[in-house]
Structure 1
Amino acid sequence: MEIPVYLFTGFLESGKTTFIQEALEGPDFNMGERTLFLLCEEGETEYHPSKFFGTNVFFETVENEEDLSEELLVSLQKKHRVERVIVEYNGMWGLDSFYRAMPAEWLTYQEMMFADARTFLSYNQNMRQLVFDKLKSAELVVFNRCDRKKMDEVDEEGVSTKMQFHKIVRVANRKSQILYEYGENDVEMDTIPDPLPFDTEQPVITIRDDWYAEWYRDINEDQQKYDGKVLHLKGRLVNGGDIPKNKFVFGRHVMTCCVEDIQFAGLVCKWTDEAASFGNGDWVTVSAKVRIEDDPVYAGEGPGPVLYCTEVKKAAPAVPEVATF
């Protein structure tokens, strides 16, 4: 049986508890389903189960990140014979710890991230990796305790606080909705447009060196948009090992969050046996047509973008060599 999971993330005093309490007090979110409530942190605000619309809510506390395991979660599911799960997650824990522990029948129905607007920039400056971790898969990001005057203030570069929030979210996640809460019944949805810096309708889509990170994310998130399109861009060529002579992996190192997060982001390329004449790691420019299809490199992930190259030339390294958003 499929078990829906509602995951609420964010740091202490970000408004998670208040939101969940109000949701459980109404019939729209709480019709009496047997609900396992996993508490992974304790803030200053307490829950009041007596006010819940439905009473079949069973609280269980997980005190340490290392305690999260599939065995524990399965045992709690059986103990309470639950129909769904609510998780108030600890902002200092990595989300992968929870996802690795999730039983196979548990399915994330919604993931929401909450942040206190008064402290968000400070958290992002001092604990950027943890902030990025919570933003990257959130469907909705809620900024609580916003002040309209402060949100419109600009820094020395002329960027408003609201735009800073928007950009931080978008680096991690282009799809999440963003909500600003100014007070009771006073909320605003983020409507700032996020156009790509390149035109995907051009006969040849040319990707500048400083656009690589955005292009790589977009081609993976919206593969069909690129099917049949022609590209021209620069990256590094990876060959040798088990890779056939007429194939190579093309990509660049990308930093999505911080230095510790740098990883190689590449795609499969098909060309001729001449690919084997290049050195592993050489910088090249490629002209290629995209096809979305299965490839052994993408095994287990389904079809992916494969670049059918018409031209591959040696090139000077990109500046900077590590791509960023």
Structure 2
Amino acid sequence: MDKLEVPVYLITGFLESGKTSFLQEIFESGEFADGERGLLISCEEGEVELDEKATLACKIDTVTLDEEEELTADFLENCKNVYKPKRVFVEYNGMWDPDTILSVDMPRGWEIYQIVTMIDASTFAVYLNNMKSIIGNMIKCTELVIFNRCSEEQDLPMFRRNLKALNSNVQMMFEHKDGRMIELGKDIPPYDLNAPIIDITDDDYGIWYMDVADDKDRYEGKTVRFTARIMKNRKLPKNFCVPGRKAMTCCAEDIRFIGFLCKYPELDNLKNGDWVTLTANMHYERRREYGGVGPVLYATEVVECAAPEDELVYFN
């Protein structure tokens, strides 16, 4: 691999999501006012314009791309030869396919260093309902999402759950519309964590699944009960299966099975695909199947049952 000489910072998001304002803050911070030349590749034109003083202080040259098809290896190579930047910022059009820039051959020494997605919290629910597949494409490769223009009336924990369903590793920041940062803390789940048996309803399965993956201290040693479909796999150890549900993480074309490893001594009595109500003790263990530490269910009772009316689960 070529030595990283020119880091490429990819800033994406829909029009008017705050990308330009974010870049303005970066350039005004003085972090990049070190005398090295930089290049900004702008892929759309919003209402906010960069302050020329900030770009001059950071020695930022700007080029504009109007069409996605123009983003080619030849274009980037020409940028390298003409501007000779030591760092590159790409203000990416949120309606363009992220794979366009992620798959293009970068000039020697160039490499995407960080991907940040800006989201306007005031319009996010509308986009989520109507353009979830496009949001999914953006989030799947993002390292950091910054929600701006947040308010107390918005269901920010729901925003977080939906993005975690799309990319479990994504980090998120929430900025109030007055500029201060909002610390969400832990979600309060819609079920009783202190009950002898935590009953997980069909509607709450997605919330439980995300919370279990994120917060082992809440669930270590707990007993849970939920309805799931049994999935067997020859690659799993004897008496192990994965009880779970199908989830729509992005769109109708992006449905996947989600569940956790489970040990049940009488697994031979069940067929692959059976619907069951399962009661199990939860423990977190280092497992090859997870590639690290993950939740393991130890079933104490398994009762066959009918499939739920809606087999899909959601993360709202």
TM-score, scaled relative to structure 1: 0.71
| Contact residue 113 and residue 141 of structure 1 kept, 8 A | yes
For 1:158, the equivalent position in structure 2 comes to none
By how many angstroms is 1:126 displaced? 3.2
By how many angstroms is 1:85 displaced? 4.2
Pick one of 277, 302, 305 that aligns with 2:295: 305
By how many angstroms is 1:89 displaced? 1.9
CA distance in 2, matches of 1:140, 1:19: 9
For 1:139, the equivalent position in structure 2 comes to 145
By how many angstroms is 1:91 displaced? 0.8
Pair 1:179 & 2:175 matched: yes
CA distance in 2, matches of 1:241, 1:206: 30
Question: Considering only aligned residues, what root-mean-square deviation do their CA atoms show, in Å?
Answer: 3.9
Give the direction of change, closer, same or farther, for the CA distance of 1:199–1:125 in structure 2 (3 Å limit).
Answer: closer
For 1:156, the equivalent position in structure 2 comes to none
Which segment is superposed worse, 25-34 or 242-251?
A: 25-34
By how many angstroms is 1:256 displaced? 3.2
SS of 2:148's equivalent in the other structure is: strand
User: How many percent identity over aligned positions?
Assistant: 37
Structure 1 residue runs of 5 or longer lacking an equivalent are 153-161
CA distance in 2, matches of 1:191, 1:46: 30
By how many angstroms is 1:213 displaced? 0.2
CA distance in 1, matches of 2:314, 2:11: 28
Q: Over residues 178-198 of structure 1, what are the superposed CA-to-partner deviations in whole Å (9 max), with x where a residue is unaligned?
A: 2243xxxx4354567731223
CA distance in 2, matches of 1:226, 1:66: 49
| Contact residue 229 and residue 243 of structure 2 kept, 8 A | yes
By how many angstroms is 1:236 displaced? 0.8
Amino acid at match of 1:309: A
Amino acid at match of 2:173: Q
By how many angstroms is 1:230 displaced? 3.1
CA distance in 1, matches of 2:105, 2:213: 25
Amino acid at match of 2:148: V
Pick one of 9, 12, 29 that aligns with 1:9: 12
Pick one of 140, 154, 158 that aligns with 1:163: 154
Task: Work out the number of aligned pairs and report it.
Answer: 298
SS of 2:204's equivalent in the other structure is: helix
CA distance in 2, matches of 1:67, 1:56: 24
Pick one of 108, 114, 119 that aligns with 2:119: 114
Give the direction of change, closer, same or farther, for the CA distance of 1:250–1:105 in structure 2 (3 Å limit).
Answer: farther
Pick one of 187, 202, 219 that aligns with 1:209: 202
Pair 1:27 & 2:30 matched: yes
CA distance in 1, matches of 2:105, 2:191: 39
SS of 2:154's equivalent in the other structure is: helix
By how many angstroms is 1:206 displaced? 2.9
| Contact residue 220 and residue 284 of structure 2 kept, 8 A | yes
Amino acid at match of 2:198: I
Amino acid at match of 1:281: G
TM-score, scaled relative to structure 2: 0.73
For 1:315, the equivalent position in structure 2 comes to 305
Give the direction of change, closer, same or farther, for the CA distance of 1:224–1:93 in structure 2 (3 Å limit).
Answer: farther
SS of 2:116's equivalent in the other structure is: strand
By how many angstroms is 1:289 displaced? 2.8
Give the direction of change, closer, same or farther, for the CA distance of 1:45–1:304 in structure 2 (3 Å limit).
Answer: same
Pair 1:129 & 2:133 matched: yes
